[in-house]
Amino acid sequence: MTRIDDTFARLRAENRKAFVAYIMAGDPDAATTTEVVKGLPGAGVDIIELGLPFTDPMADGPTIQLAGQRALEGGMTLQGTLDIVRDLRDEDNVTPVVLMGYYNPIYSRGVDRFLKEATEAGVDGLIIVDLPPEEDEELCIPAQRAGVNFIRLATPTTDAERLPKVLQNTSGFVYYVSITGITGSGAADAEKVAPEVARIKASTDLPVIVGFGIRTPEASRDIAAVADGCVVGSAIVDRIGRGDAVEDVLAYVRSLSDGAHSA
């Protein structure tokens, strides 16, 4: 059982949905990220997704691309990201942390070394968007062996033939992308999402969490109501990027988590 598994077990027992928040590590600097990360559990966040800044974030929209650029320009590294997780673990050994990003920084560090350092820092899961199931031996399988959940994305274009492959070695939860396209584009539609979530849940016992296109407490509630929870990323990153005070960012996150938890 990982922290992610424990979290979903607790939420099921409480008959509550999960709220997941994404921010970019190092945006605009390590100190701010650390302050926000430490404040997220108190703002109602059940699982923290921490972005790994990368020079070529092909699946991300302008908001997260710019956040990654700011982080890299500020000197954020993979090691720095792990240090942020380690700082959180000094105060919080319960809230799961998932690293989300691309394979290149991990490959450059070396998979074995990365997994050893990630588990020591307190990382619970990985979402690596450019590693398809056909390449599970690269990182997915070693991560599972190390006790790190490997979380896969499913999309509106993941058809019945492809879905079993996507689910094959997934653990922790399934991240359903509510819209086609890059992060930060469009708006999630609960009526369209509901049958897709049901389709995925018919093939797996894993929780299904829905992300992309959620910006308001109402949207957070509506999407969580038809899934096991929701993820908000770009809308939070946008507020950090425009320079909102940490307490204001966390107040916004609280409004979103209250929405999800009211579903």
Residue 3 and residue 149 in contact, taking contact as beta carbons nearer than 8 Å:
no
Strand locations in 6-46 (E): 18-24
Alpha-carbon gap, residue 110 to 239, rounded angstroms: 34
Q: Is 49 a catalytic residue?
A: yes
Q: Is 196 a catalytic residue?
A: no
Give every CB contact of residue 123 below 8 A, 6+ residues apart in sequence.
82, 85, 97, 98, 99, 148
* b/e burial code for range 95-120 (CB count within 10 A of at least 16 → b): bbbbbbbbbebbeebeeeebbebbee
Residue among 5, 29, 46, 60 flagged as catalytic: 60
**Strands 174-177, 149-150: parallel, antiparallel or unpaired by DSSP?**
unpaired
Residue among 49, 124, 196, 238 flagged as catalytic: 49
Catalytic residue IDs: 49, 60
